[in-house]
Structure 1
Amino acid sequence: MKFFIDTANLAHISEANELGILDGVTTNPTLMAKEGIKGTEAINNHYKAICEIVEGDISAEVLSTDFATIIEEGKVLAALHPNIVVKVPMIKDGIKAIKWFTDNGIKTNCTLVFSAGQAILAAKAGATYVSPFIGRIDDSGWDGIQLIRQIATIYERQGFKTEILAASIRNANHIIACAEAGANVCTCPLDSILALLKHPLTDIGLAKFLEDAKKMG
């Protein structure tokens, strides 16, 4: 499973990249605003800065909801860097746009996916990635991990090439469950990635090793 970091914070992106396990980045307007990045030029320059840090795919989200404008925005984003993946919402015009991007050699990430039916449409349109939001699904009283499992089964049986990018990750257990359920990619904040490092027995064992090392002089 590939690891993406879900942030627009350059320091967090750099820290995750330095671990040597980072495969890409996802962002959205909310994350950009959180970093105080406003305006088309500033946002596009920020995407370029991210691409200079990470070699993998970088999802850059369109802000429009009609077909023609999604295409125009997507073309501008894709031209910023070869690693840009155009992030498109799961709506009617979004699916039409994903098909157009696919036919024209532009990678896409279909976002705001909450059902297997939506995932099927995204795959049929040729999306590079489909992003089920498992945390938000859990919040609504449904099972986000079960949706990952369902999509993985459908994609395997139907031979779809679209990769499942598990999003809205809330903790390290979510990451592990997504890996078990068949997600191809997991995108999450830095703290969720770092939480995978932690276990109390590791801390106890390390403390014992260091204590014994001191005794050895």
Structure 2
Amino acid sequence: MKFFIDTANLQQILEAHEMGVLDGVTTNPSLMAKEGISGQQHVLAHYQSICSITDGDVSAEVISTSYDEIISEGEELASLHSKIVVKVPMIKDGIKAIRYFSSKGIRTNCTLVFSSGQALLAAKAGATYVSPFVGRLDDISYDGMQLISDIRLIYDNYGYQTQILAASVRTPMHIVNCAKLGADVITAPLSVITSLLNHPLTASGLSQFLADHKKAAGL
């Protein structure tokens, strides 16, 4: 399973890259604003900076909701770098745009997916990735993991090549469960990814090893 980091923070992207676990980046206008990045030219330049750090795909989100504007904005984003994947919302004009982009060889990430039916439409339109938001489903007492399982079954049934990119991933168990269910990718904040490092027995075991070493060395 691939690990993408969900951020616009260059330092966090670099840290994940240096850990050796970074396969790509997802970001959006809200994350850009959180880093104090505003204005179209600054946003486009920041996408290029992200592409210079990671070896993998970088999802760049359109803010338009009409077909012609999605196409125009998406083509501009795709022209920035070969790593750019155009993130398109799960709406009717978005699906039409994904079909267009697919015909032009422009890769896409269909975002804001909350049902298996939506995921099926995205795959039929030729999306490279589909992003089910598991954490937001959990928030309203729906089972985000069941959605991952359902999409995996449907895609495997018909041989769709669209990759399942689990988004709104908030806990280490979200990551582990997505891996169990066959999600192709998860995207999460760096803090959630690094939380996989933690286990109380690892911490206590290391403390004991170090104490034994000091004792054996007469320190």
| Global fold match (TM > 0.5) | yes
1:129 & 1:140 partners in 2: Cα distance? 24
**2:190 alignment partner in structure 1:** 190
Distance 2:32 2:213 in 1: 47
Query: Which residue of structure 1 lines up, in the alignment, with residue 36 of structure 2?
Result: 36
Q: Structure 1: which 5+ runs fail to align?
A: none
Q: Residues 16-62 of structure 1: CA distance to partner in whole angstroms, max 9, x if unpaired?
A: 11110110000011111111111110100000000010010000000
C-alpha separation between the residues in 2 aligned to 1:196 and 1:141?
25
Equivalents in 1 of 2:19, 2:196: separation in Å? 12
Tell me the equivalent position of 2:134: 134
In angstroms, what is the RMSD of aligned CA positions?
A: 0.6
Partner residue, 1:121 = 121
Partners of 2:138 and 2:193 lie apart in 1 by 20
Work out the CA distance in 1 between the residues paired with 2:81 and 2:215. Answer: 55
Amino acid at match of 1:198: N
Percent of residue pairs bearing the same amino acid type: 64
Secondary structure, aligned partner of 1:196: helix
- Provide the rounded CA distance (Å) in 1 between the counterparts of 2:137 and 2:113: 10
Q: State the shift of 1:216 in Å.
A: 2.6
Q: Distance in 1 between matches of 2:47 and 2:214?
A: 48
Cross-structure match for 1:25: 25
**Is the aligned partner of 1:91 residue 2:88?**
no
Query: How far apart are the structure 2 equivalents of 1:34 and 1:48?
Result: 18
Q: Which runs of 4+ in 1 moved over 4 A?
A: none
Instruction: Give the Cα–Cα distance (whole angstroms) in 1 for the partners of residues 133 and 100 of structure 2.
Output: 24
Shift of 1:140: 1.2
Scaled by the length of structure 1, what TM-score is found?
Answer: 0.99
Aligned residues: 217
2:16 is aligned to: 16
Aligned mates of 2:43, 2:50 — CA distance in 1: 11
Equivalent-residue separation in structure 1 for 2:139 and 2:196 (angstroms)? 22
Aligned partners of 1:135, 1:5: CA distance in 2, in Å?
Answer: 15
Which residue is 2:75 aligned to?
75
Task: Report Cα offsets for 1:157-215 as digits up to 9, x if no partner.
Answer: 11100000000011111101111111100000000001000000000111111111112
Letter in 2 for 1:104: K
Counterparts of 1:149 and 1:17 in 2: how far apart (Å)?
A: 29
Residue 50 (structure 1) aligned with residue 80 (structure 2): no
Give secondary structure in 1 for the equivalent of 2:85: strand
Give 3-state SS (helix, strand or coil) of 2:88's partner: strand
Give, in whole Å, the separation in 2 of the partners of 1:16 and 1:2: 13
Any stretches of 5+ residues in structure 2 without a counterpart? none
